[in-house]
Structure 1
Amino acid sequence: MMDQVPKQVTGISIASASWSSQRSVNNFLLQYPSNESSKLRQRKAHSVIAKVNKLGDRMEGIREHVRLAPKLTKTVKGKLSLGARILQVGGVEKVFNNNFGTKDDEKLLKASQCYLSTTVGPIAGLLFVSTHKVAFCSERSIKFTSPTGKLLRVYYKVLIPLSKIKRANQSQDVKRPSQKYIQVVTEDNFEFWFMGFLNHQEALKYLEQAIFETQ
């Protein structure tokens, strides 16, 4: 997993963006009128169960994202702060361009709130997927000691050209299935692990699509 802080890191502040809901799909109770036919009940049951399963997947992502945040109140404040700062900059594309720069023919495909796994713990931020690269910027500055011993605060950034990515894998914690990961492996076998997505499948879809189109 990624455990190194770049020697030179610059950027703008991006605050936390997490969901505060911890409602479980188990709270939903399905009840059906007794005067309906068995076939009609079965069709309705299948329809409702499908909706609940879809909602359950969404709730699992929300609960996992909130679980990774240190405090719920801090998470909610961070979400509001992120929206305000993105508006100040001029939108998500502006945030991406200001932090990583873009080429004339480059297009931002997806920006996802998530966590980057490191040896010091998960770092919250935004994962960007464009037609040229995959990039991550932390939501907060991180303390970093310079070679001269001076304590600095920098933003944790990752930039990986799509041409350097070997593959992207998805996995999950065996003991906690709701905890899903996206692993990005580069050509030199360096690994980056992202987790805590609000919508894991959507983030993976855009990432795989971007990698496929550059091969």
Structure 2
Amino acid sequence: MRQPASDPNNIPEAKQSTTSSDSTLVPPLSSDYAPYPKLDPKDVAPPPENWTNVSMGSQSQPNQGPATFSGSAATTMPAESNPYVSPAPVRSSSVKTDKMGAVKEVLGKLGKKAAEDTKKAKEIAGNMWQHLKTGPSFADAAVGRIAQGTKVLAEGGYDKIFRTTFETAPEEQLLKTYACYLSTSAGPVMGVLYLSSQKLAFCSDNPLSYQVGAQTQWSYYKVAIPLHQLRAVNPSTSKANPAEKYIQIISVDNHEFWFMGFVHYDSAVKNLQRPLQPARSS
């Protein structure tokens, strides 16, 4: 179905009790509604030991998990309703030796950096592959990424898109953006995760359809969680396929969001956990 053109300055924002995610126009939930697709906890590995998570007290870790990477990305609005890095002179006889030593040192550093860059490039390439595989098709996901990049250029950058998409305070600053997917009961939703000085927010790249009576309407899928409402940011991986990596976001009122398909996964974990560090040290 051809989607109607959307005004980027008039994006309906979903409402939550303390945060916002779904459109208020989404039809009532059915009796068999489940907030997130059920996943056996054995299928998701616990966070690595070198990552520190916020203590959840006596509360047990939820048994719900993200949707798997297999299957199509969401094109319809999910049903869930949710509230939220001193020179010294040398003798001429030793100049040649010193220069050769300096050259060897520089080459050694360059070699080490090249090896590190190669490893990082391979990791990013692997993450990009997983990102594209999460979409309805590899080609569609690739085209979607290109389209999103074109949109960012046309609209003046992520900062401008962020401020026209979400309500922001004058002093609020956009810190990081990450292309990823949000796991929903309707399937993974491709979009951009924004980290600002005041909130964590997500908006789908494309509007999703939903039914109002006999009519099909469209709305962007949005989430906005104030940083003071964050309780935990938990990285995890699939035991069946370690290349599949997730980030679980939990709010203080126990609402969960599962993000996946990050191109820059390690950077996302590091920066998303940063707002929680003052709380950990206090």
Q: TM-score, normalised by structure 1?
A: 0.74
Which residue number in structure 2 is paired with residue 159 of structure 1? Answer: 224
Quick one: percent identity of the two aligned structures?
A: 33
Aligned to 2:264: 199
Measured against aligned partners, the alpha-carbon deviations of 1:90-145 in whole angstroms (never above 9, x if no partner) come to 11001100010211221101011000001111000000000100000001111112
Following superposition of structure 1 onto structure 2, how do residues 97-116 of structure 1 map, counting pairs within 5 Å?
Answer: 97-116=163-182
Q: Which has the larger radius of gyration?
A: 2
Gaps of 5+ in 2: 1-20, 27-110
Bigger proportion of residues as strand:
1
Instruction: After TM superposition, give the deviation of residue 65 of structure 1 in Å.
Output: 0.5
The 1:138/1:50 distance shift into structure 2, 3 A limit, reads: same
Deviation at 1:203, TM superposition (A): 1.2
State the match for 2:211 in structure 1. Answer: 145
- The answer as to whether partners of 1:138 and 1:155 remain within 8 angstroms in 2 is yes
| Structure 1 equivalent of residue 273 of structure 2 | 208
Partner secondary structure for residue 149 of structure 2: helix
Distance 2:142 2:183 in 1: 21
DSSP 3-state at the match of 1:143: strand
Contact 2:23 2:219 in 1 (8 A): no
Q: Within 5 A, what are the aligned runs for 1:32-111?
A: 50=116, 52-111=118-177
| CA deviation after TM superposition for structure 1 residue 188, in Å | 1.0
**Which 4+ runs in 1 deviate beyond 4 A?**
45-52
Number of residue-to-residue matches in the alignment: 178
2: CA distance, partners of 1:104 / 1:211: 23
Distance 1:50 1:98, change over 3 A: closer
TM-score w.r.t. length of structure 2 = 0.57
Whole-angstrom distance in 2 between the partners of 1:91 and 1:140: 17
* Cα distance, 1:54 vs structure 2: 2.9
| Distance (whole Å) between structure 2 residues aligned to residue 95 and residue 214 of structure 1 | 30
CA contact (8 A) 1:116 1:122 kept: yes
Task: Tell me which protein shows more helix as a share of its residues.
Answer: 1
Counterpart of 1:137, as a letter, is C
Q: For 1:54-110, what per-residue CA distance to the aligned partner results, in whole angstroms no more than 9, with x for missing partners?
A: 333222211110111222322232222212211222110011000102112211010
